[in-house]
Amino acid sequence: MNKGASEVKVLVVDDQPMIVEELCEYFESAGYGCVPANSTAQALERYAADEAIGLVVCDLHMPDQDGVELVRALKLIAGEQRTFEAIMLTGHADKQDVIRALREGFSDYYQKPMDMAELLEGLRRGEQALLERRSNVQQLGNLNQRLQELAESIDTLYQDLEKARGQGAHRRADDVEDAPGELPPLFEKLSPRQLEVALLVSQGKTNYQIACELGITENTVKLYVSQVLRLTRLHNRTQLALALAPSASPLHQRFTAH
């Protein structure tokens, strides 16, 4: 029966200890590590303490909270960082209870007394769904990281192109409408593209307007704004606008006065 140990643990919850013991013994013989719980309070405590738990098998009708309320509470503990698949066990298959459980996110339900082989197959399907979901989340995270790296690479290429053309940061600034005649020293470390974005921000333009003007995406603009604030050690767009205001303006005097 054992198809190899699973990395995913099973939280088994029922107010009848004999049922919990029987299920744990059966699942463990099939290669699953099990965490037993005889109440919803115990289940919540043990789920919070063990991040390896990814499968939940619980009874619907329990004295303190029912299985649906338990899964709802587990979701609050899990937040956005964890996920799990849940299977409901019930002594009587009331249609409304089943509908309520499925709406809450249970992947399946089994009526007591269970066919253990069928329950195990359901558990394995839940494990497969869980692993696929985790894989998709990981792939999305990797894609976002690659997009950020690509944006940084494009910025580096842009800087190299500007250097090849003999254009420095100050010359690039002259190409932007209403650019100040002399830039504060804290802006000297910016690349031409970063400076260009900073100057457009100082003119009060939104990320969308900047994206349209420069022919880039809003996300890329956000990345540049974040880089500018980090390199200049300014806290927000307002401080950025004040720092780039003309030296004779009240805005610039207010900024330099602090």
Q: Are 108 and 126 in contact (CB under 8 A)?
A: yes
One fold for both 9-140 and 167-257? yes
d(CA 101, CA 108): 9
Q: How do the pLDDT tens digits run along the chain, 258 residues long? A: 455 588 899 999 999 999 999 999 999 999 999 999 999 999 999 999 999 999 999 999 888 888 999 999 999 998 877 889 999 998 876 788 888 888 888 988 898 888 999 999 999 999 999 988 877 766 666 666 676 666 666 766 666 665 665 544 444 444 444 445 567 788 888 888 888 898 998 888 898 999 888 888 888 889 889 888 988 888 888 888 888 876 544 444 444 444
The amino acid that residue 106 corresponds to is F
Tell me the pLDDT tens digit for each residue of 101-126: 888 889 888 988 889 999 999 999 99
d(CA 68, CA 109): 12
The CATH label, of 3.30.1240.10, 3.40.50.2300, 1.10.1740.10, 3.40.190.10, for the domain at 167-257 is 3.40.50.2300
Q: At the top level of CATH, which class does the domain 9-140 belong to? A: alpha beta
- Domain positions in the chain are 9-140, 167-257
Question: 35: closest CA among 102, 84, 75?
Answer: 84
Q: Are 20 and 46 in contact (CB under 8 A)?
A: no
Q: Are 243 and 232 in contact (CB under 8 A)?
A: yes
Contacts of 30 (CB under 8 A, 6+ apart): 1, 2, 3, 120
Question: 1: which 2 tokens?
Answer: 């029966």
* Number of alpha carbons in the 13 Å side-chain half-sphere of residue 244: 28
E strands present in the chain: 9-13, 34-37, 53-59, 85-90, 108-111
Q: Give the ranges where 30-115 is alpha helix by DSSP (H).
A: 40-49, 67-78, 95-104
